[in-house]
Chain A
Amino acid sequence: AQKVTQAQTEISVVEKEDVTLDCVYETRDTTYYLFWYKQPPSGELVFLIRRNSFDEQNEISGRYSWNFQKSTSSFNFTITASQVVDSAVYFCALSEAEAGNNRKLIWGLGTSLAVNP
Chain B
Amino acid sequence: EAGVAQSPRYKIIEKRQSVAFWCNPISGHATLYWYQQILGQGPKLLIQFQNNGVVDDSQLPKDRFSAERLKGVDSTLKIQPAKLEDSAVYLCASSFGRGNTEAFFGQGTRLTVV
A11 smallest CB distance to B (angstroms)? 15
The contact size tier of chain A is: 20 to 34
B40 smallest CB distance to A (angstroms)? 8
The contact size tier of chain B is: 20 to 34
Q: Is the CB of B42 within 8 A of A109?
A: yes
Q: Is the CB of A103 within 8 A of B99?
A: yes
A39 smallest CB distance to B (angstroms)? 9
B33 smallest CB distance to A (angstroms)? 8
Stretch at the interface among A41-49, A54-62, A71-79: A41-49
* Cβ-defined partner of B107 (8 Å) among A42, A102, A109, A110: A42
List the B side residues contacting A47 at CB < 8 Å.
102-105
Binary interface profile of A, 24-62, with partner B (CB < 8 Å = 1, else 0)? Answer: 000000000101010000111111001000000000000
Can you offer 22 A-B residue contacts whose CB atoms are under 8 A? A33-B100, A35-B102, A42-B107, A43-B107, A43-B108, A44-B91, A44-B105, A45-B91, A45-B93, A47-B102, A50-B101, A50-B102, A91-B43, A95-B100, A98-B56, A101-B98, A102-B98, A102-B99, A103-B100, A104-B99, A105-B45, A107-B43
